[in-house]
Amino acid sequence: MNMHGQDRDVARPWLAHYPAGVPAIVKPPQGSLPALFAATVANHTNRPFIDFYGSRITYGEAGALVDRAARGFRRLGVKSGTRVGLCLPNSPGGVLCYFAALAAGGTVVNFSPLAAERQISGQIEDSETDIIVTIDLQPVFRRVIGALGRSRLRRIIVCRMAEMLPFPRNIAFRLREHARIATLPDDERVVEFAALTAETGEGAAPVLQASPDVAIIQYTGGTTGTPKGVLLSHHNLLANVAQLCAWFTRAEPGAERFLAVLPFCHSFGMTAVLNFAVSLGGELVILPRFRPAEALRVIERRNITMLIGVPAIFQALADCPAIARADLSSLKVCVSGGDTLAEALAQRFTALSGVPLAEGYGLTECGPVVSCSNPLEGIARAGSCGLPLPGTDVAIMSSEAATAALPAGQIGEICVRGPQVMQGYWRRPAATRAALRDGWLHTGDLGRVDPDGYLFFVSREADVISVRGYKVYARTIEDAIREHPAVADVAVFAQPDATRGEVPKAYIVLRDGMTLDAAALRAFLADKLSPNEFPRIIEIRDRLLKSEFGKILKQDAASASDAGSPSAPRTERPGTEG
């Protein structure tokens, strides 16, 4: 079965609407991610690669460090297929170890630095990770060191934050944050990055390729279930980057600066920021933590041209008072992905920044980008997450007949095939067989396409609510409620109901100083939702539980409400009884 081929008889109406210069299919570079990095080093040796609070590294300097780190990993026993974990915020050390571990023949396993110790230990065991790269900051280091001796983990590589900062910022950091800096144990199993990259007199290490089947084990977000390890090959990731390069034809090799605020530990940040920047010879201006006012200053002062983010980032930037004074004229491309983008937010950010905000659709299993709009060069359609990327097929399948594509306009399961589609799930053959069927990835997401092939995301399958047997989509309700000027955020869930089976329940966060009651919301939604769609229960909450990626953790939010956590509702009001 050829997962990456394209049948000649598949209708692809979207090709007629591609921006000028975008090909139907792209050919990704041969080899591996380290080979891509090495080629960029050769072509852009003196070009800035990383800017970390003013500490700058060129591609040539980074290439030398990656070579030394790759030899260091090999001295520690890394060979083809050895799992090397990365558990640290965006930083130069993380970027260098990413390419070095792959160049040594290893498979990278991304860990969230915000994960709990139990989650880190569980992922170590599930992925069979032997070595982890982390940072000397509490509590991240404490959570990682807790797994040493209690799991299969045998080595920890530690990047010191102060050593990545420029003078005199490094001195100020040591003085100001001394309580947050971890004391490293006298243990040969704990190795500093400086020792990993030490000169040993060895010859240059060849650029190796990890297992041809797996470059990255990328765990799904787990917002609606148990995370699974997605197996992404070098070919998957190189193909997705080549698709992005072909799609954004105004991106100039050697001329772009990316604001790197998306976590590299997530597939979106890894591909659409880190790998995309390297493929273009672009500069990464790294911020390990997102602060809206700081991000706006950096965009202006460093002349950022590429801003890739999630809706929560663009919302925070739009809400920041400093945006009224910020000069964002350097921006060329702004793309939102990772979660649904409200049309009102897209319009507002575009008006404030002067740059059209593109929207993409993707998932970890696709490396992750599947489709994207390109309002700078093509036609953006309101509510759509764009057209399938070159070489990608998207079909809407019926749940009753999983091999039958539905006509334009009908809602069904979004199915994808293309060179970026995963190899499968790590150690989960049944889940792999369920997801990869007849050459298609069955995403579990619901959507529709219009006659021109534009994709519209409707809902996660888990967010479908059955009211009296009728399907109601949580996102439809959320989008309508989000239009109210008093609403800052909203999440809609299914609530069991004795007579209707299920009814929608809305958790709403209000903007500061704003109020909203059920009667006012009912009047506002009267021409926007059907009686079955109107939320029967409305809870006004202080906040919604979210992942570090900005996604609402619906299961956790619901359980938090039941447990009376700090994010539990302040008030609860019934909706209409229509």
Other CB atoms within 10 Å distance of the CB of residue 412: 22
Distance (Å, whole) CA 110 – CA 87: 7
What is the pLDDT confidence band of residue 302, given thresholds at 50, 70 and 90? very high
Angle among Cα 62, 283, 169 to the nearest 5 degrees reads: 75
Determine the pLDDT at residue 377: 83
Label the pairing between strands 424-425 and 229-232: antiparallel
Distance (Å, whole) CA 194 – CA 62: 14
Q: What is the CATH number of the domain that holds 567?
A: 3.30.300.30
Q: Which of 214, 243, 263 is the last residue of a domain?
A: 214
Q: Using one digit for the tens of pLDDT, what is the confidence trace for 198-234?
A: 987 776 555 555 456 799 999 986 544 578 999 999 9
Rg (CA), the chain: 24
Domain count, the chain: 2
Statement: residue 243 has pLDDT above 80 = yes
Which residues, 6 or more positions from 400, have their beta carbon under 8 angstroms from its beta carbon?
A: none
Q: Using one digit for the tens of pLDDT, what is the confidence trace for 401-442?
A: 666 789 999 999 999 999 999 999 999 999 999 999 999 999
Residue 234 belongs to some domain of the structure: no
Q: Using one digit for the tens of pLDDT, what is the confidence trace for 351-396?
A: 999 999 999 999 999 999 999 998 888 888 888 999 999 999 999 9
Determine the pLDDT at residue 498: 77
Chain centre distance of CA 74:
30
Residue 269 belongs to some domain of the structure: no
Average pLDDT, the chain: 89
Other CB atoms within 10 Å distance of the CB of residue 293: 14
Residue 7 belongs to some domain of the structure: no
Q: What is the CATH number of the domain that holds 84?
A: 3.40.50.980
Q: Which of 174, 199, 214 is the last residue of a domain?
A: 214
Partnered with residue 335 across adjacent β-strands are 308, 358
State the DSSP string of 117-165.
Answer: HHHHHHHHHHHTEEEEEEESBTTHHHHHHTTTTTSS--EEEEE-HHHHS
Map residue 410 onto helix, strand or coil.
coil
The residue ranking higher by pLDDT, 26 or 8, is 26
* Residue keyed to tokens 């992005």: 244
Statement: residue 550 has pLDDT above 70 = no
Contact in structure between 87 and 321 (CB atoms under 8 Å): no
Residue 166 belongs to some domain of the structure: yes
Q: Using one digit for the tens of pLDDT, what is the confidence trace for 84-131?
A: 999 999 999 999 999 999 999 999 999 999 888 888 999 999 999 999
Angle among Cα 472, 457, 226 to the nearest 5 degrees reads: 80
Contact in structure between 407 and 227 (CB atoms under 8 Å): no
Domain boundaries, position 565: 468-574
Determine the pLDDT at residue 561: 52
Q: Which of 214, 236, 268 is the last residue of a domain?
A: 214
Residue 168 belongs to some domain of the structure: yes
Which of 315-324, 381-390, 447-456, 464-473 is the least confident region? 464-473
Contact in structure between 237 and 419 (CB atoms under 8 Å): no
Q: Output the CA torsion 70→73→78→84 (10° steps).
A: -100
Handedness of CA 135, 137, 140, 142 (dihedral sign): positive
> For residue 275, what is the DSSP state?
I
Other CB atoms within 10 Å distance of the CB of residue 434: 12
Q: How many residues does the chain have?
A: 578
> For residue 17, what is the DSSP state?
G
Q: Using one digit for the tens of pLDDT, what is the confidence trace for 171-181?
A: 999 999 999 99
Map residue 116 onto helix, strand or coil.
coil
160: tokens are 């010191």
Residue 112 belongs to some domain of the structure: yes
State the DSSP string of 335-396.
Answer: EE-SS---HHHHHHHHHHHSS-EEEEEE-GGGSSEEEE--TTTS---TT---EEPTT-EEEE
Residue 241 belongs to some domain of the structure: no
Residue 248 belongs to some domain of the structure: no
Q: Which helix (H) or strand (E) holds 505?
A: strand 501-510
> For residue 405, what is the DSSP state?
B
Stated pTM of the model? 0.85
Map residue 465 onto helix, strand or coil.
strand
Determine the pLDDT at residue 564: 44
